[in-house]
């Protein structure tokens, strides 16, 4: 049995999960070139030979309101996937199921599979250090092992009797220590001199709904103050139909280039970014780009979440630094005027700009530790193929 290529069930939700899972699969294939993997995933996973039984955008929702509106479909999808994996003959069952992020979907599935005799690994520790500490019990019931992106997480989990490994962040391995700014500007058609601001309002429809307009209005204010500014906005697949009418209605005179994806090139090319809280903030830090972190959501989601945070920081670069390296504008604070003010401040304070870039370089080195190999080593231990 140990000579046969291992099989893995996997679920990754949204573009960020697909990105992490694609990098993880790339490393796993170094150890097991002929592995098989199937479940729910996106194009980056498919590029590594993953078979998507369902597309990853089925899980592209955010918050309690969106979850409630889609609850019946999500529960049905989770049940179908569990049925399909557990119905496989013993010899064809996955050596392990790997849930990538999407904890509200994956934990219930992992618990069922684990009780059915399938080993489970969860990749990306939920932010129990920030909010929703009650998830610890769910993790204990669901995961045989947790792969942690940040160095302080395994100790927190191990105190609760949960096996965990620090594997670093795969993006820290994938993103160069010295971002290729000039090359990226040329590739995006942004040749010439002058600062560039990247607008990253998110990849979910709900994020576009709440953040795209404030970002565009803020960019107009920034352009009024500094007419030589240029702006780029990466647009996630399938969302251009939402963005283009908004740009025409809100900011038709903005010096803006819309991109089909290519968020990493946009971050490499820019000088400053306005960015939605989430994985993109860490990507911006790895590209050493000073930023303004923003988030808005349905008022009910905000009401339920705001009392559950255990620390003052939301953005990942600030969480890692344990201080406000960059400004955060959340919910009612996220206005065009505040976004523009904080964005322009980076251009007016060069010493602060340079200092933050140095701190981001330190974070990059901390997280860069060959995640793919570390993660595949931990998975090999779980499935008994070390």
pLDDT in tens, 109-141: 999 999 999 999 999 988 765 455 667 888 999
Instruction: Compute the average pLDDT of residues 138-151.
Output: 93
Q: What is the mean pLDDT of the chain?
A: 89
- Collapsing DSSP to helix, strand or coil, 250 comes out as helix
Q: Is residue 174 part of a domain?
A: no
> Is residue 1 a part of any domain in this protein?
no
Residue 330 lies in a domain: yes
261-300 pLDDT, tens digit each: 999 999 999 999 999 988 899 999 999 999 999 988 655 6
Provide the domain count of the chain. Answer: 2
Residue with tokens 């942004």: 190
320 and 375 together in one domain: no
**DSSP-derived secondary structure for 73-112:** HHHHHHHHHHHHHHTS-GGGS-SEEEEES-HHHHHHHHHH
| Residue 2: pLDDT over 70 | no
Do 78 and 109 form a contact (C-beta atoms < 8 A)? yes
pLDDT per residue as tens digits for the range 309-351: 556 778 889 989 989 999 999 988 999 999 999 999 999 999 9
What average pLDDT score do residues 178-186 get?
A: 95
Structural domain including 76 reads 7-168+369-383
Are 189 and 332 found together in one domain? yes
Kindly state whether residues 126 and 195 are assigned to the same domain. no
Residue 176 within any structural domain of the chain: no
Q: Are residues 127 and 242 in the same domain?
A: no
Give the DSSP H/E element, type plus range, for residue 8.
strand 7-12
* In-domain check, residue 71: yes
Q: What is the CATH number of the domain that holds 356?
A: 3.40.50.2000
H or E element that contains 355 = helix 350-367
272 shares its domain with 296: yes
Instruction: Give domain status of residue 337, yes or no.
Output: yes
**Longest alpha-carbon distance in the chain:** 67
Residue 13 gets the label, from left (phi > 0), alpha (psi -120 to 50) or beta, of: beta
């Amino acid at each position: 049995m140990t000579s046969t290529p291992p099989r893995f069930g996997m679920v990754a939700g949204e573009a960020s999960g697909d990105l992490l899972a694609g990098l993880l699969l790339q490393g796993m294939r170094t150890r097991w070139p002929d592995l098989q993997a199937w479940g729910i995933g996106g194009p980056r996973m498919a590029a590594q030979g993953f078979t998507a039984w369902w597309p990853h955008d089925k899980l592209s929702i955010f918050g309690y309101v969106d979850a409630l509106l889609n609850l019946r479909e999500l529960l049905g999808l989770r049940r179908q996937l569990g049925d399909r994996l557990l119905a496989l003959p013993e010899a064809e069952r996955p050596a392990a199921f790997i849930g990538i992020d999407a904890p509200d979907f994956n934990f219930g599935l992992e618990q069922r599979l684990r009780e059915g005799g399938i080993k489970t690994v969860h990749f990306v520790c939920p932010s129990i250090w920030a909010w929703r500490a009650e998830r610890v019990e769910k993790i204990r019931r669901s995961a045989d092992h947790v792969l942690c992106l940040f160095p302080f997480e395994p100790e927190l989990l191990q105190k609760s009797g949960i096996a965990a490994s620090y594997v670093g962040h795969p993006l820290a391995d994938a993103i160069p220590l010295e971002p290729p700014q000039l090359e990226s500007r040329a590739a995006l058609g942004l040749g010439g001199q002058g600062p560039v601001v990247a607008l990253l309002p998110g990849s979910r429809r709900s994020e576009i709904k709440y953040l795209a307009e404030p970002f565009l209005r803020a960019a107009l204010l920034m352009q009024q103050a500094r007419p030589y500014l240029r702006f780029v906005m990466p647009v996630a697949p399938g969302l251009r139909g939402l963005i283009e009418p908004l740009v025409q209605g809100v900011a038709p005179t903005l010096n803006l280039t819309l991109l089909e994806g290519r968020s990493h090139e946009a971050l490499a090319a820019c000088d400053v970014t306005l960015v939605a809280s989430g994985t993109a903030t860490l990507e911006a830090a790895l590209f050493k780009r000073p930023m303004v972190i923003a988030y808005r959501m349905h008022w009910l989601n905000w009401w339920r979440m705001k009392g559950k945070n255990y620390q003052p920081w939301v953005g990942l670069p600030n969480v890692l630094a344990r201080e406000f390296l960059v400004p955060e504008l959340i919910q009612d604070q996220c206005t065009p005027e505040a976004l523009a003010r904080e964005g322009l401040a980076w251009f007016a304070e060069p010493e602060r700009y340079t200092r933050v870039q140095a701190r981001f370089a330190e974070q990059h080195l901390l997280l860069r530790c060959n995640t793919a190999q570390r993660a595949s080593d931990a998975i090999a231990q779980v499935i008994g193929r070390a």
